[in-house]
Structure 1
Amino acid sequence: MVATGSLDGRVAVITGSTRSIGRAIAEAFLADGATVVVSGRSEVKGKQALEEMGAGDRAVFHPCDANSQEDIEGLADFAAERFGRLDIWVNNVGGSSGFAPIHQLSDEAWHDALNLNINGYFYGTRRALPKMLEGGWGRIINISSVEGKQANKPAISHYITNKHAIHGLTKATAFEYGTQGITCNAICPGAVDTDLMRAAGPAAAEAEGISYEEWLGRFAEHAATKKITTVGQVAAVATLLASEAGAGITGTLISVDGGTAQW
Protein backbone atom coordinates (compact mmCIF):
# COMPACT_ATOMS: atom_id res chain seq x y z
CA MET A 1 0.00 0.00 0.00
CA VAL A 2 1.32 3.44 -0.96
CA ALA A 3 1.36 5.97 1.89
CA THR A 4 -0.37 9.25 1.06
CA GLY A 5 -0.24 11.18 4.33
CA SER A 6 -4.04 11.32 4.29
CA LEU A 7 -4.20 10.80 8.06
CA ASP A 8 -1.64 13.41 9.10
CA GLY A 9 -2.58 14.90 12.47
CA ARG A 10 -5.32 12.37 13.20
CA VAL A 11 -5.44 10.26 16.36
CA ALA A 12 -6.71 6.72 15.92
CA VAL A 13 -7.57 3.91 18.32
CA ILE A 14 -7.83 0.31 17.18
CA THR A 15 -9.05 -2.34 19.60
CA GLY A 16 -7.21 -5.63 19.46
CA SER A 17 -4.36 -4.27 17.37
CA THR A 18 -1.31 -6.23 18.48
CA ARG A 19 -1.88 -8.85 15.76
CA SER A 20 -3.89 -9.91 12.71
CA ILE A 21 -6.33 -7.46 11.11
CA GLY A 22 -6.03 -4.88 13.89
CA ARG A 23 -2.25 -4.87 13.61
CA ALA A 24 -2.42 -4.41 9.83
CA ILE A 25 -4.80 -1.46 10.24
CA ALA A 26 -2.53 0.14 12.84
CA GLU A 27 0.45 -0.17 10.52
CA ALA A 28 -1.50 1.25 7.58
CA PHE A 29 -2.72 4.23 9.63
CA LEU A 30 0.82 4.91 10.84
CA ALA A 31 2.12 4.77 7.29
CA ASP A 32 -0.45 7.40 6.31
CA GLY A 33 0.57 9.78 9.10
CA ALA A 34 -1.80 9.04 11.98
CA THR A 35 -0.91 8.78 15.63
CA VAL A 36 -2.14 5.38 16.78
CA VAL A 37 -3.11 3.89 20.12
CA VAL A 38 -2.47 0.16 19.88
CA SER A 39 -4.43 -1.96 22.34
CA GLY A 40 -4.75 -5.50 23.55
CA ARG A 41 -4.78 -7.61 26.70
CA SER A 42 -1.07 -8.39 26.80
CA GLU A 43 1.40 -5.63 27.59
CA VAL A 44 4.24 -7.89 26.46
CA LYS A 45 2.67 -8.33 23.03
CA GLY A 46 1.81 -4.63 22.94
CA LYS A 47 5.37 -3.53 23.56
CA GLN A 48 6.63 -6.05 21.03
CA ALA A 49 4.19 -4.73 18.43
CA LEU A 50 5.36 -1.15 19.00
CA GLU A 51 8.99 -2.16 18.59
CA GLU A 52 8.23 -3.98 15.35
CA MET A 53 6.20 -1.06 13.99
CA GLY A 54 9.04 1.34 14.71
CA ALA A 55 6.78 4.39 14.72
CA GLY A 56 8.44 6.20 17.61
CA ASP A 57 6.20 8.54 19.56
CA ARG A 58 3.37 8.25 17.00
CA ALA A 59 2.37 4.88 18.42
CA VAL A 60 1.60 4.02 22.03
CA PHE A 61 0.16 0.94 23.69
CA HIS A 62 -2.67 0.92 26.20
CA PRO A 63 -3.96 -2.33 27.72
CA CYS A 64 -7.59 -3.18 27.05
CA ASP A 65 -9.67 -6.31 27.50
CA ALA A 66 -12.48 -5.97 24.96
CA ASN A 67 -14.75 -8.00 27.24
CA SER A 68 -14.60 -5.19 29.80
CA GLN A 69 -16.78 -2.10 29.49
CA GLU A 70 -14.46 -0.28 31.89
CA ASP A 71 -11.40 -1.11 29.79
CA ILE A 72 -13.01 -0.06 26.52
CA GLU A 73 -14.22 3.25 27.89
CA GLY A 74 -10.86 3.80 29.56
CA LEU A 75 -9.12 3.26 26.24
CA ALA A 76 -11.08 6.08 24.59
CA ASP A 77 -10.45 8.36 27.56
CA PHE A 78 -6.73 7.58 27.50
CA ALA A 79 -6.39 8.53 23.84
CA ALA A 80 -8.24 11.83 24.26
CA GLU A 81 -6.31 12.76 27.40
CA ARG A 82 -2.91 11.77 26.00
CA PHE A 83 -3.25 13.48 22.62
CA GLY A 84 -6.00 16.03 23.20
CA ARG A 85 -8.29 14.53 20.59
CA LEU A 86 -9.78 11.32 19.23
CA ASP A 87 -10.57 11.22 15.51
CA ILE A 88 -10.77 7.58 14.46
CA TRP A 89 -12.14 4.64 16.41
CA VAL A 90 -11.90 1.10 15.04
CA ASN A 91 -13.95 -1.61 16.75
CA ASN A 92 -11.96 -4.65 15.79
CA VAL A 93 -12.28 -7.30 18.50
CA GLY A 94 -14.99 -9.85 17.83
CA GLY A 95 -15.60 -13.54 17.48
CA SER A 96 -17.25 -16.46 19.21
CA SER A 97 -16.54 -19.87 20.65
CA GLY A 98 -18.52 -22.95 21.55
CA PHE A 99 -19.61 -23.81 18.01
CA ALA A 100 -22.82 -25.85 17.98
CA PRO A 101 -26.26 -26.07 16.35
CA ILE A 102 -28.78 -23.69 17.92
CA HIS A 103 -30.52 -26.39 19.98
CA GLN A 104 -27.16 -27.35 21.52
CA LEU A 105 -25.64 -23.87 21.90
CA SER A 106 -24.80 -23.07 25.51
CA ASP A 107 -25.95 -19.97 27.37
CA GLU A 108 -22.31 -19.17 28.06
CA ALA A 109 -21.34 -19.20 24.37
CA TRP A 110 -24.35 -17.04 23.49
CA HIS A 111 -23.76 -14.42 26.16
CA ASP A 112 -19.99 -14.35 25.66
CA ALA A 113 -20.50 -13.60 21.97
CA LEU A 114 -22.99 -10.83 22.76
CA ASN A 115 -20.62 -9.20 25.23
CA LEU A 116 -17.52 -9.35 23.05
CA ASN A 117 -19.21 -8.29 19.84
CA ILE A 118 -22.23 -6.00 20.01
CA ASN A 119 -21.77 -4.83 23.62
CA GLY A 120 -18.10 -4.07 23.13
CA TYR A 121 -18.74 -2.23 19.87
CA PHE A 122 -21.53 -0.20 21.45
CA TYR A 123 -19.45 0.80 24.48
CA GLY A 124 -16.55 1.91 22.30
CA THR A 125 -18.74 3.84 19.91
CA ARG A 126 -20.65 5.56 22.69
CA ARG A 127 -17.47 6.65 24.47
CA ALA A 128 -15.69 7.85 21.32
CA LEU A 129 -18.55 9.91 19.91
CA PRO A 130 -18.49 12.85 22.38
CA LYS A 131 -14.78 13.31 21.72
CA MET A 132 -15.41 13.37 17.98
CA LEU A 133 -18.31 15.77 18.39
CA GLU A 134 -15.97 18.17 20.17
CA GLY A 135 -13.77 18.27 17.09
CA GLY A 136 -16.60 18.21 14.57
CA TRP A 137 -14.99 15.28 12.75
CA GLY A 138 -14.83 11.55 13.28
CA ARG A 139 -14.58 8.12 11.76
CA ILE A 140 -15.97 4.95 13.32
CA ILE A 141 -15.07 1.73 11.58
CA ASN A 142 -16.59 -1.57 12.67
CA ILE A 143 -14.77 -4.70 11.62
CA SER A 144 -17.58 -7.17 10.99
CA SER A 145 -17.92 -10.13 8.64
CA VAL A 146 -19.69 -11.25 5.49
CA GLU A 147 -21.64 -13.50 7.85
CA GLY A 148 -23.49 -10.34 8.87
CA LYS A 149 -24.93 -10.22 5.35
CA GLN A 150 -26.06 -13.83 5.16
CA ALA A 151 -26.88 -16.81 7.34
CA ASN A 152 -25.82 -19.86 5.41
CA LYS A 153 -23.34 -21.65 7.63
CA PRO A 154 -24.15 -24.13 10.41
CA ALA A 155 -23.07 -24.05 14.05
CA ILE A 156 -22.27 -20.32 14.23
CA SER A 157 -25.70 -18.79 14.89
CA HIS A 158 -24.34 -16.69 17.78
CA TYR A 159 -21.61 -15.29 15.53
CA ILE A 160 -24.01 -14.55 12.66
CA THR A 161 -26.53 -12.89 14.98
CA ASN A 162 -23.92 -10.55 16.42
CA LYS A 163 -22.57 -9.52 13.03
CA HIS A 164 -26.08 -8.64 11.87
CA ALA A 165 -26.50 -6.56 15.04
CA ILE A 166 -23.23 -4.73 14.39
CA HIS A 167 -24.58 -3.74 10.98
CA GLY A 168 -27.66 -2.25 12.62
CA LEU A 169 -25.47 -0.26 15.02
CA THR A 170 -23.36 0.91 12.08
CA LYS A 171 -26.33 2.23 10.13
CA ALA A 172 -27.94 3.84 13.17
CA THR A 173 -24.71 5.63 14.09
CA ALA A 174 -24.23 6.86 10.54
CA PHE A 175 -27.77 8.22 10.46
CA GLU A 176 -27.64 9.97 13.83
CA TYR A 177 -24.29 11.72 13.29
CA GLY A 178 -24.13 12.19 9.54
CA THR A 179 -24.61 15.96 9.72
CA GLN A 180 -21.87 16.40 12.32
CA GLY A 181 -18.82 15.38 10.35
CA ILE A 182 -18.83 11.80 11.60
CA THR A 183 -19.05 8.70 9.43
CA CYS A 184 -19.61 5.11 10.49
CA ASN A 185 -19.06 2.09 8.29
CA ALA A 186 -18.56 -1.65 8.63
CA ILE A 187 -15.92 -3.66 6.83
CA CYS A 188 -17.06 -7.22 6.18
CA PRO A 189 -14.14 -9.54 5.54
CA GLY A 190 -14.65 -13.04 4.31
CA ALA A 191 -12.10 -15.66 5.20
CA VAL A 192 -8.90 -13.84 6.13
CA ASP A 193 -5.56 -15.54 6.59
CA THR A 194 -4.87 -14.77 10.25
CA ASP A 195 -3.59 -16.63 13.27
CA LEU A 196 -7.08 -16.31 14.74
CA MET A 197 -8.62 -18.13 11.79
CA ARG A 198 -6.05 -20.89 12.06
CA ALA A 199 -6.85 -21.21 15.77
CA ALA A 200 -10.65 -21.25 15.41
CA GLY A 201 -10.85 -23.29 12.22
CA PRO A 202 -10.35 -26.80 13.60
CA ALA A 203 -13.26 -26.49 16.06
CA ALA A 204 -15.57 -25.06 13.41
CA ALA A 205 -14.60 -27.84 11.02
CA GLU A 206 -15.23 -30.49 13.67
CA ALA A 207 -18.69 -29.04 14.35
CA GLU A 208 -19.49 -29.51 10.66
CA GLY A 209 -18.00 -32.99 10.56
CA ILE A 210 -15.29 -32.15 8.03
CA SER A 211 -11.51 -31.82 8.12
CA TYR A 212 -9.80 -28.47 8.69
CA GLU A 213 -8.28 -28.66 5.20
CA GLU A 214 -11.74 -29.12 3.67
CA TRP A 215 -13.12 -26.28 5.78
CA LEU A 216 -10.33 -23.88 4.75
CA GLY A 217 -10.39 -24.85 1.09
CA ARG A 218 -14.11 -24.17 0.85
CA PHE A 219 -13.59 -20.46 1.51
CA ALA A 220 -11.21 -20.04 -1.41
CA GLU A 221 -13.40 -22.22 -3.61
CA HIS A 222 -16.44 -20.00 -3.01
CA ALA A 223 -14.58 -16.74 -3.69
CA ALA A 224 -14.66 -15.23 -7.16
CA THR A 225 -10.91 -14.69 -6.86
CA LYS A 226 -10.35 -18.25 -5.61
CA LYS A 227 -8.16 -16.72 -2.92
CA ILE A 228 -8.42 -16.03 0.79
CA THR A 229 -8.36 -12.34 1.74
CA THR A 230 -5.22 -10.83 3.29
CA VAL A 231 -5.06 -8.52 6.30
CA GLY A 232 -3.47 -5.86 4.10
CA GLN A 233 -6.52 -5.78 1.84
CA VAL A 234 -8.76 -5.13 4.82
CA ALA A 235 -6.41 -2.44 6.13
CA ALA A 236 -6.41 -0.63 2.79
CA VAL A 237 -10.19 -0.21 2.94
CA ALA A 238 -10.02 0.95 6.55
CA THR A 239 -7.47 3.62 5.59
CA LEU A 240 -9.76 4.97 2.87
CA LEU A 241 -12.72 5.12 5.25
CA ALA A 242 -10.61 6.87 7.89
CA SER A 243 -9.43 9.58 5.51
CA GLU A 244 -11.03 12.75 4.18
CA ALA A 245 -11.45 10.93 0.88
CA GLY A 246 -13.92 8.63 2.64
CA ALA A 247 -16.19 11.46 3.78
CA GLY A 248 -18.93 10.48 1.34
CA ILE A 249 -19.08 6.89 2.55
CA THR A 250 -21.21 6.24 5.62
CA GLY A 251 -23.71 3.65 6.80
CA THR A 252 -22.17 1.23 4.35
CA LEU A 253 -21.31 -2.45 4.76
CA ILE A 254 -18.25 -3.05 2.60
CA SER A 255 -17.37 -6.64 1.74
CA VAL A 256 -13.67 -7.45 1.45
CA ASP A 257 -14.06 -11.11 0.66
CA GLY A 258 -12.84 -11.83 -2.84
CA GLY A 259 -16.41 -11.93 -4.10
CA THR A 260 -17.66 -14.61 -1.72
CA ALA A 261 -20.88 -13.02 -0.47
CA GLN A 262 -22.39 -12.56 -3.92
CA TRP A 263 -22.80 -16.28 -4.48
Structure 2
Amino acid sequence: MTLGNSLLLAGKSALITGASAGIGAAAARTFCREGAAVTLIARREPELAALTEELRGAGHRAQYVVGDVTRVEDVARAVSAAVSAHGSLDAAFNNAGIGAEPKPLHLLDEDVYDSVMDTNVRGVWNCMRQEIRAMLAAGTGGTIVNNSSTAGLVATPVTAAYIASKHAVLGLTKAAAAEYAPHGIRVNAIAPGSTRSEMIDAWLKENPAMEEILLRSAPLPRIAAPQEIAESAAWLCSDRSSFVVGATLSVDGGWTTR
Protein backbone atom coordinates (compact mmCIF):
# COMPACT_ATOMS: atom_id res chain seq x y z
CA MET A 1 0.00 0.00 0.00
CA THR A 2 1.06 3.59 -0.67
CA LEU A 3 -1.13 5.46 1.78
CA GLY A 4 0.89 8.64 1.45
CA ASN A 5 0.40 9.10 -2.29
CA SER A 6 -1.47 12.31 -3.05
CA LEU A 7 -3.54 10.55 -5.71
CA LEU A 8 -6.08 8.01 -4.45
CA LEU A 9 -5.71 5.59 -7.36
CA ALA A 10 -2.20 6.24 -8.65
CA GLY A 11 -0.93 3.34 -10.76
CA LYS A 12 -4.16 1.34 -10.55
CA SER A 13 -6.09 -0.23 -13.42
CA ALA A 14 -9.82 0.19 -12.86
CA LEU A 15 -12.95 -1.10 -14.56
CA ILE A 16 -16.15 0.98 -14.43
CA THR A 17 -19.48 -0.39 -15.61
CA GLY A 18 -22.45 1.69 -16.71
CA ALA A 19 -19.88 4.33 -17.62
CA SER A 20 -21.66 6.16 -20.44
CA ALA A 21 -23.54 8.67 -18.26
CA GLY A 22 -24.45 9.74 -14.75
CA ILE A 23 -22.53 8.25 -11.85
CA GLY A 24 -20.51 5.98 -14.15
CA ALA A 25 -19.25 8.83 -16.32
CA ALA A 26 -18.50 10.91 -13.23
CA ALA A 27 -16.56 7.96 -11.83
CA ALA A 28 -14.53 7.68 -15.03
CA ARG A 29 -13.47 11.32 -14.71
CA THR A 30 -12.81 11.02 -10.98
CA PHE A 31 -10.81 7.79 -11.19
CA CYS A 32 -8.68 9.26 -13.97
CA ARG A 33 -8.10 12.45 -12.04
CA GLU A 34 -6.97 10.31 -9.11
CA GLY A 35 -4.37 8.54 -11.23
CA ALA A 36 -6.11 5.39 -12.48
CA ALA A 37 -6.04 3.91 -15.96
CA VAL A 38 -9.67 3.13 -16.73
CA THR A 39 -11.55 0.61 -18.82
CA LEU A 40 -15.16 1.63 -19.37
CA ILE A 41 -18.07 -0.58 -20.32
CA ALA A 42 -21.64 0.36 -21.22
CA ARG A 43 -24.15 -0.36 -23.97
CA ARG A 44 -24.05 3.03 -25.73
CA GLU A 45 -20.98 3.43 -27.91
CA PRO A 46 -21.35 7.12 -28.95
CA GLU A 47 -21.37 8.24 -25.31
CA LEU A 48 -18.50 5.91 -24.39
CA ALA A 49 -16.41 7.03 -27.34
CA ALA A 50 -16.95 10.72 -26.55
CA LEU A 51 -16.07 10.24 -22.88
CA THR A 52 -12.97 8.22 -23.71
CA GLU A 53 -11.82 10.89 -26.17
CA GLU A 54 -12.37 13.55 -23.50
CA LEU A 55 -10.30 11.61 -20.96
CA ARG A 56 -7.47 10.92 -23.39
CA GLY A 57 -7.49 14.54 -24.46
CA ALA A 58 -6.85 15.48 -20.84
CA GLY A 59 -3.84 13.16 -20.75
CA HIS A 60 -5.46 10.20 -19.02
CA ARG A 61 -5.28 6.52 -19.91
CA ALA A 62 -8.72 5.33 -20.94
CA GLN A 63 -10.32 2.74 -23.20
CA TYR A 64 -13.83 1.41 -23.64
CA VAL A 65 -15.64 -1.80 -24.44
CA VAL A 66 -19.22 -1.76 -25.68
CA GLY A 67 -21.13 -4.36 -23.74
CA ASP A 68 -23.98 -5.37 -21.47
CA VAL A 69 -23.26 -6.57 -17.93
CA THR A 70 -25.99 -9.19 -18.25
CA ARG A 71 -23.84 -10.94 -20.88
CA VAL A 72 -20.95 -12.90 -19.38
CA GLU A 73 -18.93 -12.70 -22.59
CA ASP A 74 -19.16 -8.89 -22.64
CA VAL A 75 -17.93 -8.59 -19.08
CA ALA A 76 -15.13 -11.07 -19.79
CA ARG A 77 -14.03 -8.95 -22.77
CA ALA A 78 -13.93 -5.82 -20.62
CA VAL A 79 -11.88 -7.48 -17.87
CA SER A 80 -9.53 -8.97 -20.46
CA ALA A 81 -9.14 -5.54 -22.10
CA ALA A 82 -8.17 -3.98 -18.77
CA VAL A 83 -5.57 -6.63 -18.06
CA SER A 84 -4.19 -6.59 -21.60
CA ALA A 85 -3.86 -2.80 -21.77
CA HIS A 86 -2.72 -2.06 -18.24
CA GLY A 87 -1.20 -5.31 -16.98
CA SER A 88 -3.71 -5.96 -14.22
CA LEU A 89 -7.15 -5.25 -12.84
CA ASP A 90 -6.73 -3.60 -9.45
CA ALA A 91 -10.13 -1.99 -8.88
CA ALA A 92 -13.67 -2.24 -10.16
CA PHE A 93 -16.76 -0.10 -9.72
CA ASN A 94 -19.83 -2.14 -10.62
CA ASN A 95 -22.19 0.73 -11.25
CA ALA A 96 -24.49 -0.42 -14.06
CA GLY A 97 -28.14 -0.63 -13.08
CA ILE A 98 -31.67 0.15 -14.17
CA GLY A 99 -34.92 1.20 -12.55
CA ALA A 100 -38.55 0.61 -13.43
CA GLU A 101 -41.76 2.57 -13.59
CA PRO A 102 -43.33 2.73 -10.09
CA LYS A 103 -46.12 0.18 -9.86
CA PRO A 104 -47.73 -1.81 -7.03
CA LEU A 105 -46.18 -5.25 -6.59
CA HIS A 106 -49.32 -7.15 -7.59
CA LEU A 107 -49.48 -5.22 -10.87
CA LEU A 108 -45.80 -5.56 -11.74
CA ASP A 109 -45.19 -7.38 -15.01
CA GLU A 110 -42.93 -10.41 -14.86
CA ASP A 111 -40.73 -9.15 -17.68
CA VAL A 112 -40.12 -5.87 -15.83
CA TYR A 113 -39.16 -7.75 -12.67
CA ASP A 114 -36.88 -10.07 -14.65
CA SER A 115 -35.19 -7.16 -16.43
CA VAL A 116 -34.47 -5.26 -13.21
CA MET A 117 -33.14 -8.34 -11.43
CA ASP A 118 -31.10 -9.42 -14.46
CA THR A 119 -29.25 -6.11 -14.76
CA ASN A 120 -28.99 -5.08 -11.12
CA VAL A 121 -28.25 -8.48 -9.55
CA ARG A 122 -27.03 -10.88 -12.22
CA GLY A 123 -25.03 -8.02 -13.75
CA VAL A 124 -23.15 -7.44 -10.49
CA TRP A 125 -22.68 -11.20 -10.07
CA ASN A 126 -21.33 -11.53 -13.62
CA CYS A 127 -18.92 -8.68 -13.03
CA MET A 128 -17.63 -9.89 -9.69
CA ARG A 129 -17.01 -13.40 -11.01
CA GLN A 130 -14.83 -12.12 -13.86
CA GLU A 131 -13.12 -9.41 -11.79
CA ILE A 132 -12.30 -11.76 -8.91
CA ARG A 133 -10.90 -14.37 -11.29
CA ALA A 134 -8.53 -11.78 -12.75
CA MET A 135 -7.49 -10.55 -9.31
CA LEU A 136 -6.91 -14.07 -8.01
CA ALA A 137 -4.84 -14.92 -11.09
CA ALA A 138 -2.64 -11.88 -10.52
CA GLY A 139 -2.21 -12.73 -6.86
CA THR A 140 -1.92 -9.10 -5.81
CA GLY A 141 -5.40 -8.51 -4.41
CA GLY A 142 -7.74 -5.74 -5.46
CA THR A 143 -10.83 -3.75 -4.58
CA ILE A 144 -14.42 -3.98 -5.79
CA VAL A 145 -17.20 -1.51 -5.11
CA ASN A 146 -20.79 -2.37 -5.97
CA ASN A 147 -23.34 0.37 -6.46
CA SER A 148 -26.48 -0.36 -4.47
CA SER A 149 -28.86 2.37 -3.27
CA THR A 150 -30.68 3.57 -0.20
CA ALA A 151 -33.31 1.23 -1.67
CA GLY A 152 -30.95 -1.54 -0.60
CA LEU A 153 -31.28 -0.43 3.02
CA VAL A 154 -34.93 0.62 3.38
CA ALA A 155 -38.18 0.12 1.51
CA THR A 156 -40.63 2.50 -0.13
CA PRO A 157 -43.91 1.69 -1.87
CA VAL A 158 -44.40 0.74 -5.55
CA THR A 159 -40.74 -0.10 -6.28
CA ALA A 160 -40.58 -3.74 -5.18
CA ALA A 161 -38.36 -5.05 -7.97
CA TYR A 162 -35.81 -2.25 -7.59
CA ILE A 163 -35.75 -2.60 -3.81
CA ALA A 164 -35.33 -6.37 -4.03
CA SER A 165 -32.49 -6.01 -6.51
CA LYS A 166 -30.60 -3.44 -4.48
CA HIS A 167 -30.96 -5.45 -1.27
CA ALA A 168 -29.56 -8.41 -3.20
CA VAL A 169 -26.53 -6.36 -4.26
CA LEU A 170 -25.68 -5.81 -0.61
CA GLY A 171 -26.03 -9.54 0.07
CA LEU A 172 -23.68 -10.37 -2.79
CA THR A 173 -21.26 -7.73 -1.52
CA LYS A 174 -21.13 -9.16 1.99
CA ALA A 175 -20.81 -12.74 0.74
CA ALA A 176 -17.93 -11.88 -1.58
CA ALA A 177 -16.24 -9.74 1.08
CA ALA A 178 -16.24 -12.60 3.56
CA GLU A 179 -14.98 -15.09 0.99
CA TYR A 180 -12.21 -13.12 -0.69
CA ALA A 181 -10.79 -10.81 1.99
CA PRO A 182 -8.27 -13.55 2.93
CA HIS A 183 -7.02 -13.31 -0.66
CA GLY A 184 -6.48 -9.56 -0.39
CA ILE A 185 -9.62 -8.65 -2.36
CA ARG A 186 -11.79 -6.12 -0.55
CA VAL A 187 -15.44 -5.87 -1.59
CA ASN A 188 -17.66 -3.03 -0.42
CA ALA A 189 -20.77 -1.18 -1.54
CA ILE A 190 -22.12 2.33 -1.70
CA ALA A 191 -25.76 3.25 -1.18
CA PRO A 192 -26.46 6.55 -2.93
CA GLY A 193 -29.53 8.57 -2.22
CA SER A 194 -31.29 10.65 -4.87
CA THR A 195 -28.67 11.61 -7.45
CA ARG A 196 -28.92 13.64 -10.64
CA SER A 197 -28.99 11.17 -13.51
CA GLU A 198 -30.97 10.38 -16.64
CA MET A 199 -33.09 7.94 -14.63
CA ILE A 200 -33.94 10.27 -11.74
CA ASP A 201 -34.44 13.29 -13.99
CA ALA A 202 -36.91 11.36 -16.16
CA TRP A 203 -38.75 10.13 -13.08
CA LEU A 204 -38.97 13.62 -11.58
CA LYS A 205 -40.22 15.00 -14.88
CA GLU A 206 -43.11 12.54 -14.75
CA ASN A 207 -43.62 13.08 -11.01
CA PRO A 208 -42.74 16.75 -10.38
CA ALA A 209 -44.17 16.82 -6.85
CA MET A 210 -41.65 14.18 -5.77
CA GLU A 211 -38.65 16.52 -5.88
CA GLU A 212 -40.03 18.62 -3.04
CA ILE A 213 -40.78 15.46 -1.08
CA LEU A 214 -37.22 14.25 -1.62
CA LEU A 215 -35.79 17.57 -0.52
CA ARG A 216 -37.82 17.53 2.68
CA SER A 217 -36.90 13.96 3.55
CA ALA A 218 -33.14 14.31 4.21
CA PRO A 219 -31.17 16.39 6.72
CA LEU A 220 -29.15 17.71 3.77
CA PRO A 221 -32.03 18.94 1.58
CA ARG A 222 -30.77 18.56 -1.95
CA ILE A 223 -30.19 15.98 -4.66
CA ALA A 224 -26.60 14.77 -5.01
CA ALA A 225 -24.40 15.44 -8.01
CA PRO A 226 -22.99 12.30 -9.67
CA GLN A 227 -19.51 13.53 -8.79
CA GLU A 228 -20.26 13.22 -5.08
CA ILE A 229 -21.13 9.55 -5.46
CA ALA A 230 -18.07 8.96 -7.63
CA GLU A 231 -15.77 10.40 -4.98
CA SER A 232 -17.04 7.88 -2.45
CA ALA A 233 -16.49 4.99 -4.88
CA ALA A 234 -12.96 6.20 -5.58
CA TRP A 235 -12.11 6.27 -1.89
CA LEU A 236 -13.41 2.74 -1.36
CA CYS A 237 -11.39 1.57 -4.38
CA SER A 238 -8.24 3.11 -2.95
CA ASP A 239 -5.70 1.97 -0.39
CA ARG A 240 -6.95 4.74 1.90
CA SER A 241 -9.85 2.45 2.82
CA SER A 242 -7.55 -0.51 3.42
CA PHE A 243 -9.36 -1.86 6.51
CA VAL A 244 -12.88 -1.47 5.12
CA VAL A 245 -14.36 -4.83 4.11
CA GLY A 246 -17.99 -5.80 3.48
CA ALA A 247 -19.24 -2.32 4.34
CA THR A 248 -22.04 -0.29 2.83
CA LEU A 249 -21.32 3.43 2.69
CA SER A 250 -24.49 5.52 2.62
CA VAL A 251 -24.05 8.61 0.43
CA ASP A 252 -27.50 10.06 0.90
CA GLY A 253 -27.38 13.40 2.68
CA GLY A 254 -28.52 11.68 5.85
CA TRP A 255 -31.71 10.27 4.34
CA THR A 256 -31.33 6.90 6.05
CA THR A 257 -30.90 8.58 9.48
CA ARG A 258 -34.57 9.56 9.55
TM-score by length of 1: 0.91
Using the TM superposition, give the Cα deviation of residue 164 of structure 1 relative to its aligned residue in structure 2, in angstroms: 0.5
1:57 Cα offset (Å): 5.7
Distance in 2 between residues matched to 1:115 and 1:92, nearest whole Å: 14
Q: Match of 2:29?
A: 27
Distance 2:153 2:93 in 1: 20
Query: Per the alignment, in what secondary structure is the counterpart of residue 18 of structure 2?
Result: coil
Counting only pairs closer than 5 Å after superposition, residues 241-256 of structure 1 correspond to structure 2 as 241-256=236-251
- How far apart are the structure 2 equivalents of 1:55 and 1:124? 28
Q: CA deviation at 1:76?
A: 1.3
Q: Is the 8 A contact 1:98 1:106 kept in 2?
A: no
Residue 80 (structure 2) aligned to one of 57, 63, 77:
77
* Root mean square deviation, CA, Å: 1.5
Question: Is 1:113 the counterpart of 2:116 in the alignment?
Answer: yes
Q: Who is 1:4 aligned against?
A: 6
- Counterpart of 1:42 in structure 2 is 44
1:214 to 190, 202, 209: 209
- Alpha-carbon contact 2:69-2:126 (below 8 Å) kept: no
Aligned partners of 1:195 and 1:96: how far apart in 2? 11
Corresponding residue of 1:209: none
| Deviation of the 1:220 alpha carbon | 1.4
Give the letter aligned to residue 163 of structure 1: K
Stretches of structure 2 that go unaligned for 5 or more consecutive residues are: none
Deviation per CA, 1:120-174: give whole Å up to 9, x if none: 00000000102112232211100110010011x2111000000000000000111
Give the secondary structure class of the aligned counterpart of 1:197: helix
1:100 and 1:81 mapped to 2: Cα distance? 44
* 2:233 aligned partner: 238
Would the alpha carbon gap of residues 55 and 124 (structure 1) be closer, same or farther in structure 2, given more than 3 Å must change? Answer: farther
| Amino acid in the other structure paired with 2:218 | A
* Secondary structure, aligned partner of 1:110: helix
Offset from partner CA, 1:73-131 (integer Å, 9 cap, x none): 22112212222211111110112224311110000011001110110000000001021
- Once residues 4 and 25 of structure 1 are traced to their aligned partners in structure 2, the CA distance between those partners, rounded to angstroms, is 18
Deviation at 1:67, TM superposition (A): 3.1
* Aligned pair partner of 2:132 in 129, 139, 144: 129
1:223 to 209, 218, 226: 218
CA distance in structure 2 between the partners assigned to 1:70 and 1:245 by the alignment: 32
Displacement after TM superposition at 1:245 (Å): 0.8
Contact 2:70 2:126 in 1 (8 A): no
1:19 partner letter: A
Q: Which amino acid aligns with 1:215?
A: M
Counterpart amino acid of 1:30?
A: C
Distance, in Å, in 1 between the alignment partners of 2:42 and 2:49 is 10
Q: Which of residues 89, 92, 95 is equivalent to 1:89? A: 92
Contact 2:27 2:234 (8 Å CA) reproduced: yes
Which residue, 145, 149, 154 being the options, matches 1:150? Answer: 154
Match of 2:106 among 103, 122, 127: 103
Matched, 1:193 2:188: no
Tell me how far 1:202 sits from its aligned partner: 4.4
**Distance in 2 separating the partners of 1:78 and 1:239:** 21
Measured after TM superposition, the shift of residue 19 of structure 1 is 1.3
TM-score normalized by the length of structure 2: 0.93
Contact 1:9–1:33 (8 Å) recurs in 2: yes
Q: Which ranges in structure 1 are unaligned for 5 or more consecutive residues?
A: 204-211
Deviation at 1:233, TM superposition (A): 1.2
* Partner in structure 1 of residue 181 of structure 2: 178
The CA deviation at 1:200 is 3.2
Please tell me whether the aligned partners of residues 99 and 199 of structure 2 are also in contact (alpha carbons under 8 angstroms): no
Structure 1 match to 2:144: 140
Q: Letter of the aligned partner of 1:139 in structure 2? A: T
How many aligned positions are there? 252
The answer on whether the counterparts of 2:69 and 2:127 sit within 8 Å (CA) in structure 1 is no
Contact 2:191 2:248 (8 Å CA) reproduced: yes
What is the SS of the residue equivalent to 2:190?
A: strand
Equivalent-residue separation in structure 2 for 1:162 and 1:80 (angstroms): 29
